[in-house]
Amino acid sequence: LLQYGHSTVAKRSLLKSLKRLGDVNSRFFHGKGGTVGRGGSPAVYRAVLSHPPNTIDGRFRVTEQGEMITQSFGNQAIAERTLDVYTASVLREKHHTTTIPKQQWRKAMDLISEASCSHYRQIVREDPNFVPYFRAVTPEKQLSNLNVGSRPAKRNPKGGVESLRAIPWIFAWSQTRCHLPAWLGVNEGLSVSGLEPTLQDMYKNWPWFR
């Protein structure tokens, strides 16, 4: 929810900017991670159909993360099935009646995104105990030394946790079965005062949120 909440707010902002520029075609790049923490969704077909209005429109660019290659393209039959799902979902989305988010839903997502992001950053970046805890309970340092990635584990070799790339960050937490990046901040986002009736309406009538 944390990632998708920020994603929909960002996409809305980008669409507004493109509209101001005039006749500009947009194509959003969807990095389909294997885990929810990396933006993945096992229900690809439903995920594509639930995208915000005008963010696909027959044009869908996607990347499969490395750990998902075998699962999605391991042999010819699986690869054909994966491409079938992508093709069918994008074609249907083009002729699919998309739910237009109500203004109150948009405001709710802004509040959820702000609250969840604030809590996430407060724990990860501001709590002095977090980094020692992260390095004590996860094999982050050991994973950084493994020769299994195509890029360095950190964008800045001298940087802290904030400079870690997505793969070592998610993989480190996956080894503990904690999966912290997938849920940290969700409770705070959904607990914003006064949103319960709106959240129930969103869950019932907005496929993207559901």
pTM of the full predicted structure?
0.67
Q: Report the DSSP beta bridge partners of residue 164.
A: 154
- Tens digits of per-residue pLDDT, 66-118? 667 788 888 999 999 988 988 998 899 888 787 888 999 989 988 998 999 89
Task: Give residues with Cβ within 8 angstroms of 128, minimum separation 6.
Answer: none
User: Which helix H or strand E contains 169, and what residues bound it?
Assistant: helix 166-175
Mean of pLDDT values over 149-166: 66
- Report residue 159's pLDDT band, with 50, 70 and 90 as the boundaries: low
- Tens digits of per-residue pLDDT, 129-150? 998 899 899 988 887 777 666 5
Report residue 192 as tokens.
């914003």
Report residue 160 as tokens.
């802290």
What is the per-residue pLDDT for 105? 92
Report residue 103 as tokens.
């203004």
Q: Identify which of 119, 89, 83, 35 has the alpha carbon closest to the alpha carbon of residue 207.
A: 89
Lowest mean pLDDT among 11-20, 46-55, 130-139: 11-20
